[in-house]
Amino acid sequence: MSLTQEIENLIKEAEAAVIASKSDEELDQNKNNFIGKKGKLTSVLKGLASLSVEEKKTTGKLANEAQVKIESFVEAQRKKIKEEFYEVKLKNEFFDSLKSLPPLERGTLHPISQIQYEIEDIFTSMGFSIMDGPEVETDENNFGALNFTEDHPARDMQDTFYTKDGNLLRTHTSAIQVRALRNLKPPFRIIAPGRVFRYEEVDASHENTFYQVEGMVVGEGISIAHLIYTMETLLSRIFRREVKTRLRPGYFPFVEPGFELDINCLVCEGKGCSVCKQSGWLELLPCGLVHPNVLEHAKLDSKKWSGFAFGLGLDRLVMMRYGINDIRYFQSGNLRFLNQF
């Protein structure tokens, strides 16, 4: 076999071996095998010595071409191996960002915030504005201006958190009606939602921190009829059905007359059940006509101006709505409780 023929065969053999290579290592080995220093091409070229000058030239050229060709087979195969490697990797490691994301956990509004916002909507639709006030109040705003006498038991250290400088944590949002009377010109209608504080032993139905909405309307000729109409509108919208009310006398220093407003029991529709202790009624909120002393204290002529006020406890309202039996859940931060709303 001529040297030329041998080289041609070597090229074919090398091509087949390179194409069959499955890894870089195998490729390197084959490369070495054919065109390495001690490779097959080198040994074939040992035969050059016996050739004529002319033959040496052409065969030498062919050998160079063989070297280049085999190198290009190797590089082409190297590229192919690499591509296949990434193709497999891509297929196996495909990241489906939509499929594999954990379910999105959203926070929800606290049920007390939810009912507060509902109440705000109901009242703004009736022409009320929303007022705010500070949680640390003066004794005057929380008690004095509301006709509490100096020795009224509600001022007692046992009910009220006092601060070192002689102020207090407001015990009710009624402190904001004092601010309304001082800052707004009648006629006006306001509600004032907020957090209030009492120095209480905490149990299933008592918290030291809870939420109220105070309401106040001041105008000329405001009467109990306005109060009842406003309360029935509010309650029917909150409970999403017609709600009947009744007033019983109740005492609060800043209203005269003062009332406890009851609603017909929503569980038994007033027939009598264990929830309403067979009475057919549930005590819901205190209210009354603004005491003349409170108006006069704010320098309003109580002969000209009159008004009504009410205080709505949000915690109890939410408890009634959802059948929650322990007020302590609200401040617990317990996500298993909160995620239900």
Binding-site residue set for Mg(2+)? 256
Least separation in angstroms between CB 107 and ligand DAH:
30
Position 207 contacts ligand DAH (CB under 6 A)? no
The b/e string for 13-24 (b: 16+ C-beta within 10 A; e otherwise) is ebbebbeebeee
Asked if 286 interacts with ligand DAH (CB under 6 A), we say yes
Interface with ligand DAH (CB under 6 A), residue from 112, 148, 311, 327: 311
- Residue 137 touches ligand DAH, criterion: CB under 6 A: no
Site string for ligand DAH, 30-59 (x = CB under 6 A): ------------------------------
Q: What does the chain come to in residues?
A: 341
40 vs 297 by CB, closer to ligand DAH = 297
ω before 103 within 30° of 0 (cis)? no
**Per rule CB under 6 A, count of chain residues that contact ligand DAH:** 12
Q: Does 252 bind ligand DAH (CB under 6 A)?
A: yes
Nearest residue relative to ligand DAH (C-beta): 311
β-pair type (188-197, 129-130): parallel
Dihedrals phi, psi of 303, to nearest 5 degrees: -80, -30
Build a one-symbol-per-residue string for 212-251: x at contacts with ligand DAH by CB under 6 A, - elsewhere.
--x-------------------------------------
Closest separation between CB of residue 243 and ligand DAH, Å? Answer: 19
DSSP-derived secondary structure for 212-251: EEEEEEEESS--HHHHHHHHHHHHHHHHTS---EEEEE--
Q: Is 28 left (phi over 0), alpha (psi -120 to 50) or beta?
A: alpha
- Applying CB under 6 A, which residues contact ligand DAH? 172, 174, 214, 252, 255, 258, 286-288, 309-311
